[in-house]
Amino acid sequence: MSSETPSQFVANVVVAGDICLDVVGIPQPPLAAPDRTVDNWKMTGEMRTHFLPGGVHLLQKWVEDALDIAHPTDTQPLKWNVIGHDAHLPDALTASDSGTKLVDRKQLLEHAERLTRSEVVHSLLELNWYPVSRKAKDENKECMRVSKTLGFAGPVTGDPSLIVEPPQLDAVPHLTVLDDTGNRFRRRADIWPHPLRNDSPTASKSLLIYKL
């Protein structure tokens, strides 16, 4: 009986669109019995903020989760390869003078708290706790959901200054997932993946999923 591992077919998926950060705020109640050592800003409660991937980077994570690429096995006949946009960190966040440190979505998130609205659009959301369901079995169970959408924060004029690279893939992607929200990405052909470009000989060879 052969013990050889069957060869895997690699399916390339490109995810493209506009990068943004989801800035979520979670209300915290004021201290029940504050003493004189507590700073005034804590007396009336707090809006505790967290930075999460938004826009196309969130979609890329959803695609990866749907394909379960975090748990590959050698016995699977199909291996998924998901490629998204990388970005250049702003000069102020790079140790080198060149300011050209290229990072992927996970590395970009590590610097999210220092990225301004002039550099990348912020999607502002308020979260709160809600019952999981009205079923008796879920009594006393809660989950966190969006309670308010607070719009967006971006540059006063022009486009965000964050330099974004098109998805890098030498081969033709089997699938291109497009997150087009009508912003910078729509008018910047230089950051489109190859299957979207009119001059690309492979434009008709990749299946396109258009997500709004």
pLDDT in tens, 139-169: 889 999 999 999 999 999 999 999 999 999 8
Whole-angstrom distance, CA of residue 197 vs CA of residue 191:
10
Is residue 11 within 8 A of residue 81, CB to CB? The reply is: yes
Query: Where in the chain are the domains?
Result: 9-211
Stated as kind and residue range, the H or E segment containing 61 is: helix 55-67
Token pair recorded at residue 200: 């690309």
Token pair recorded at residue 196: 């979207």
pLDDT in tens, 160-211: 999 999 999 888 899 999 998 899 999 999 999 988 876 666 556 788 899 8
pLDDT in tens, 99-109: 568 999 999 99
Q: How big is the chain by its Cα radius of gyration, in Å?
A: 22
Token pair recorded at residue 197: 């470009």
Is residue 185 within 8 A of residue 167, CB to CB? The reply is: no
Token pair recorded at residue 79: 């291996």
Whole-angstrom distance, CA of residue 159 vs CA of residue 147:
29
pLDDT in tens, 72-83: 666 667 888 999
* 132-139 average pLDDT score: 87
